[in-house]
Amino acid sequence: MVLNLTNMSGEVTYKCPKCGFTTEANTWLIKCPRCGSPLNVNYDLRRPRELSRSELTRILPVKEPLSLGEGLTPLVRRGDYYFKLEYLNPTGSFKDRGWSLALSVLRNDVTVVEDSSGNAGLSLAAYSAVKGVRARIYVPKTAPEAKKRLMRLLGANVVEAATRADASSLAMSFTEGVYVGHSWNPFFIHGVKLIAYELALELGNIDNVVAPLGNGTLTLGLYLGFKEAEELKLIKDTPRIIAVEASGYEWAYSMLHNTPMGVKATLPDGIIVPQPPRLTQIIDAIRDTGGDVVVVNDQGVIEGLREGIRLGFIIEPTSAVVFKALKEVNLSGTTVVILTGSGLKLSNELYRLIYGE
């Protein structure tokens, strides 16, 4: 099915970073038609004049973004670090930024299909409800029950699969809708990049940014946003990206350091993923910034949750992985830590993990 895109502002093109295929982005493509790789989206940069919703909206390649009030999240300081509270987005995760843009370019007469461990699916369900499109979301059976219930509450058709990999396979093979999977979606990353613009406008130059790494939409969104901010002279240099992966799913770490996978973690569900389709881009981004990857196991997640609560942050296990990096990596200069998902969706589980009851 050929799906024409809508609501575009200016000339937008697809480009494959692997084979160089380029075409105008006037129809929906999820993969390069020549080599099957994930596509990037390119358009003319637009320099924001101030830190405001209207100016951040102007950066995006759409006339009118779909919005639930995402973005402009608080930035607070605790000791030596700044924390960007992305878990305070409307559905409790940074994924809202991606769907705000990614759904804005689609028509209203489609069924959107996604695979998710929780937050991406929940966010898609909310934005689909507002846009008035049908959402079909494949999730692993181990996905948090509270998130699955919220997806259904928002009107999504939730289909459970045996594993995260099975969920992805089923979603991509469903032929009665449009697969918009966030890990492949080239528009999603441009929505996420606004985190970097907000940080650049509020803090100026930043030395390090620490964030969880699963499928890489956050890592690549930060990298893209900071690179653009550097080109627009909002900042002098792109900060080091310190990414944190779950043990047993350390795809980037094992390739960067030529090591085998560790014992599989079970707690940080948001970054327990099969091999990311944009893994090569992720590794290139980390290398280009002089960054690194840290690996965390379940015990490190629990310790991170306790530290987060001590600082007043009600975050989910996936967000808590960042505290391992603060202990292991030499982070001199200005450091921003991205807290990605809310713990309010998992309050009973958090209590049990932190207090052992």
Q: Are residues 194 and 334 in the same domain?
A: yes
CA distances 294 to 181, 193, 244, 250, Å, are 26, 22, 5, 9
Q: What pLDDT is stored for residue 1 in this prediction? A: 62
pLDDT at 2 over 90: no
Looking at the structure, do residues 219 and 318 belong to the same domain, yes or no? Answer: yes
**Which tens digits make up the pLDDT trace of 146-181?**
999 999 999 999 999 999 999 999 999 999 999 999
Burial environment of residue 170 by CB neighbours within 10 A (0 to 12, 13 to 18, 19 or more): middle
Q: Which of 141, 157, 185 is the last residue of a domain?
A: 185
Looking at the fold, whether 155 and 270 belong to one and the same domain comes out as no
Share of the chain above pLDDT 70, in %: 99
The model's pLDDT over 208-227, given as tens digits with 9 standing for 90+, comes to: 999 999 999 999 999 999 99
Number of structural domains (the chain) is 2
Residues 116 and 163 both lie in one domain = yes
Domain final residue, candidates 126, 156, 185: 185
- Asked whether residue 241 falls in the same domain as residue 223, the answer is yes
Structural domain span for residue 128: 96-185
Q: What is the CATH number of the domain that holds 181?
A: 3.40.50.1100
What pLDDT is attached to residue 356?
83
Mark whether 80 and 141 lie in a shared domain: no
Indicate if 328 and 194 belong to the same structural domain: yes
Q: Is the pLDDT of residue 310 over 70?
A: yes
pLDDT score at 15? 98
Whether residues 233 and 284 fall in one domain: yes
Q: Which of 185, 214, 244 is the last residue of a domain?
A: 185
Answer yes or no: is pLDDT of 322 > 70.
yes
Residue 266 inside a domain? The answer is yes
Query: Rounded to an integer, what distance in angstroms lies between the CA atom of residue 122 and that of residue 260?
Result: 33
User: Span 64-90, mean pLDDT?
Assistant: 97
State how far the Cα of 122 lies from the Cα of 138, in Å rounded to an integer: 11
Average pLDDT estimate for 48-74 = 96
Helix (H, G, I), strand (E, B) or coil at 61: coil
Across the range 197-212, mean pLDDT stands at 98
- Averaged pLDDT score across all residues of the chain: 96
Decide: 157 and 114 in contact? Cβ < 8 Å. no
Do 177 and 287 lie in one domain? The reply is no
pLDDT 10s digits, 80-106: 999 999 999 999 999 999 999 999 999
> Has residue 89 been placed in a domain?
yes
In a domain, 83, yes or no: yes
Please report whether residue 281 resides in a domain: yes
pLDDT number for residue 223:
98
pLDDT of residue 357: 66
In a domain, 57, yes or no: no
